[in-house]
């Protein structure tokens, strides 16, 4: 909650003004029963029409003041909630983008989505309600109880006896409610994860006739969310009936005692009417307080989840004083070992690539190929050893400075529902010539014209383009900013052999000063490279040219044989 108070601080003047206006309007409402009692007991018996009219106008004025004050204060409250959540949501989104890959893995993407959506919604509701009812309800409750003493102190003591019971109910229920809503939000995280995964794989689910299974799976997750909602709702909703029951018992006792006092001449009818009016005000105030605690429980749990993300320390900051390496090397790995938290993905990996050279990386699934790219871009830091770019340890770079050197196409990369030009430019402010040249180099210009040119629009996830066309658009995006190092992670798997070969020839011929890293499953995609790195279970099984590896690396020969046949592999050696 401390984090939330920080975001509320810029609005403190508007909040204070809203509180004052709300308090004035509420106090105006509180005096209405007193005026009514005075009119019944003192003015009416005198049959003074003028006095009755004047006091009636006074009641009307108080009612209008109360209405105007509440409306104005509520508008201010809405503005404060809106502006506060605007800043908080913006900072939360920026904070999620600043998270390191390891922090994102730990928080999980569905949880981040949930915090940006349902959690911020809960906090918004809490801020608005605490301003609308957080001032009004306590004033009505405390003021109503206090004014009952001016009407009839004996009856007021009867009513006051219910206050400790109400306080205990609110405290106990609110404490449990916060825990239940925190558990509920975690259940929602799981549901968001399920929905995201199913929507992303909708075509596969339909193709494999798994819609019934996925529907049942979602139903089980949804049932868990419903159970959490039911527990939380039942727990919080018990507050209102319990409070009403306590107050109604108090009301019965007040009416019983009041009847005796009127019969004995110790109280007047107007006083009893005023007292019952105050009792109604107090009852409504108590109901409002219970609503406040329901929303507070939700909002507090959500605010803590948001604060947990905002409070995460910045990782992967630049480090000073690290020794430099060979400036002629575009990239270098020196005895690098890395783990995502379990079995090491890379073990004692060492290799280097000079500027302008090309590197192919090949190996079985799970051998650590994509991890090489992740460490080059410093999405993670190596557990042991060091990673160099242009002879400088990646830990010594500012993240923006490092990543500007790269053009990258990742596995399962994404395209926006926007124009071809916007997808290639990617909000980098590139010139038209840069965009078109990148498309030509990526062998994409021909099919771009067939899809309406550079202003042609892609649907969500580029569904109106083929797999190979999407890969070439992604390659064009990576080439458009003329990177010093180009990393293509399994980015030609959907290309036919002819297009793949033509793309390789173009890259080598037109990017002589660019270091190219080609991560691939097909051995034909890396044989052209100056150097080839062969990975096996995270270790370097071979490093050299195609001819060298065919002569010295058994793992490489097996990969070749599995893709080209045993006889051809024997001939090649």
DSSP β-bridge partners for residue 387:
333
Give the CA count within 13 Å in the CB-facing half-sphere of 360: 25
Q: How far apart are CA 338 and CA 381, in angstroms?
A: 8
pLDDT value, residue 570: 47
- Give the neighbor-by-neighbor strand order of the sheet with 539-544: 406-409, 485-489, 515-519, 358-363, 531-536, 539-544
- For 512, phi then psi, to 5°, come to -65, -25
- Given the candidates 3.30.390.50, 3.10.129.10, 3.30.9.10, 3.40.50.300, the CATH classification of the domain at 329-572 is 3.40.50.300
**Residues forming CATH 3.40.50.300 domain(s) in the chain:** 329-572
What is the number of H-type helices and E-type strands within the chain?
A: 23, 10
Closest CA to 422 of 434, 435, 433: 435
Other Cβ atoms less than 10 A from the Cβ of 423: the count is 22
Q: How far apart are CA 278 and CA 270, in angstroms?
A: 12
pLDDT value, residue 568: 47
Helical axes 467-480 vs 432-441, angle rounded to 10°:
130
Identify the H or E element spanning 349. strand 346-354
Identify the H or E element spanning 267. none
- Using only the alpha carbons of the chain, give its radius of gyration: 35
pLDDT value, residue 315: 85
Q: pTM for this structure?
A: 0.72
pLDDT value, residue 267: 62
pLDDT value, residue 269: 63
Q: How far apart are CA 174 and CA 301, in angstroms?
A: 11
**Residues forming CATH 1.20.1560.10 domain(s) in the chain:** 81-310
Structure tokens at 561: 């044989």
**Residue 229 CA to chain centroid, in angstroms?**
20
Q: Phi/psi class of residue 354: alpha, beta or left (left: φ > 0; alpha: ψ in -120 to 50)?
A: beta
List, run by run, the mean pLDDT of 10-residue segments along the chain (573 residues): 86 90 87 78 76 84 87 90 92 90 86 87 89 84 79 72 72 74 79 75 70 84 86 74 74 72 66 74 76 80 90 88 86 94 91 93 90 93 94 91 91 83 89 91 88 86 83 90 90 78 86 91 88 94 94 92 64 47
Are the CB atoms for 518 and 489 separated by under 8 Å? Answer: no
Are the CB atoms for 111 and 306 separated by under 8 Å? Answer: no
Buried b (16+ CB within 10 A) or exposed e, 95-123: bbeebbbebbeebeebbbbbbbebbbebb
- Given the candidates 2.60.120.10, 3.40.50.720, 1.20.1560.10, 1.10.579.10, the CATH classification of the domain at 81-310 is 1.20.1560.10
pLDDT value, residue 569: 47
pLDDT value, residue 253: 74
Identify the H or E element spanning 69. helix 49-98
């Amino acid at each position: 909650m401390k984090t939330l108070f920080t975001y509320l601080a810029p609005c403190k003047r508007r909040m204070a003004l809203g509180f004052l206006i709300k308090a004035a309007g509420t106090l105006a409402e509180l005096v209405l029963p007193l005026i009514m009692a005075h009119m019944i007991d003192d003015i009416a018996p005198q049959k003074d029409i003028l006095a009755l009219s004047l006091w009636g106008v006074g009641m009307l004025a108080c009612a209008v003041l109360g209405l105007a004050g509440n409306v104005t204060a509520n508008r201010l409250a809405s503005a404060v909630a809106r502006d506060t959540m605007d800043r908080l949501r913006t900072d939360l989104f920026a904070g999620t983008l600043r998270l390191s890959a390891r922090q994102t893995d730990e928080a999980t993407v569905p949880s981040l989505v949930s915090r940006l959506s349902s959690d911020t919604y809960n906090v918004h509701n809490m801020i608005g309600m605490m301003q609308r009812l957080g001032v009004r309800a306590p004033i009505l409750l405390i003021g109503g109880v206090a004014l009952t003493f001016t009407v009839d102190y004996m009856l007021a003591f009867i009513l006051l006896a219910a206050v400790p019971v109400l306080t205990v109910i609110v405290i106990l229920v609110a404490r449990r409610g916060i825990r239940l809503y925190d558990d509920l939000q975690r259940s929602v995280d799981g549901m968001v994860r399920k929905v995201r995964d199913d929507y992303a794989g909708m075509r596969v689910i339909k193709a494999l006739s798994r819609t019934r299974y996925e529907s049942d799976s979602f139903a089980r997750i949804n049932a868990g969310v419903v159970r959490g909602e039911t527990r939380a709702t039942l727990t919080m909703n018990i507050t209102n009936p319990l409070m009403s029951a306590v107050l109604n018992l108090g009301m019965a006792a007040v009416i019983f005692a009041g009847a005796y006092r009127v019969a004995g001449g110790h109280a007047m009818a107007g006083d009893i009417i005023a007292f019952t009016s105050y009792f109604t005000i107090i009852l409504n105030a108590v109901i409002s307080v219970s609503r406040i605690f329901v929303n507070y429980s939700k909002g507090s749990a959500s605010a803590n989840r948001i604060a947990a993300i905002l409070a995460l320390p910045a990782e992967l900051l630049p480090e000073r004083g690290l020794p430099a390496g060979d400036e002629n090397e575009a990239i270098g790995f020196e005895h690098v070992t890395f783990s995502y938290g379990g079995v090491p993905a890379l073990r004692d990996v060492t290799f280097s690539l000079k500027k302008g050279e090309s590197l192919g990386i090949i190996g079985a699934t799970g051998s650590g190929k994509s991890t090489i790219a992740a460490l080059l871009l410093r999405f993670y830091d190596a557990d042991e050893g060091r990673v160099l770019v242009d002879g400088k340890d990646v830990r010594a770079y500012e993240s923006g400075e490092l990543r500007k050197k790269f053009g990258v196409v990742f596995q399962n990369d994404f395209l926006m529902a926007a124009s071809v030009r916007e997808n290639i430019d990617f909000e980098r402010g590139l010139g038209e010539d840069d965009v078109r040249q990148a498309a030509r180099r990526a062998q994409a210009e021909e099919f771009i014209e067939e899809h309406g040119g550079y202003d042609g629009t892609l649907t969500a996830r580029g569904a109106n383009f083929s797999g190979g066309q999407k890969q070439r658009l992604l390659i064009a995006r990576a080439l458009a900013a003329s990177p010093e190092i180009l990393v293509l992670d399994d980015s030609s798997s959907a290309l036919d052999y002819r297009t793949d070969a033509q793309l390789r020839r173009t890259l080598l011929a037109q990017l002589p000063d660019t270091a190219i890293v080609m991560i691939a499953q097909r051995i034909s995609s890396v044989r052209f490279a100056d150097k080839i790195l062969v990975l096996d279970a995270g270790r370097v099984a071979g490093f050299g040219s195609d001819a060298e590896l065919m002569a010295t690396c058994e793992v490489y020969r097996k990969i070749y044989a599995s893709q080209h046949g045993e006889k051809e592999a024997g001939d090649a050696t």
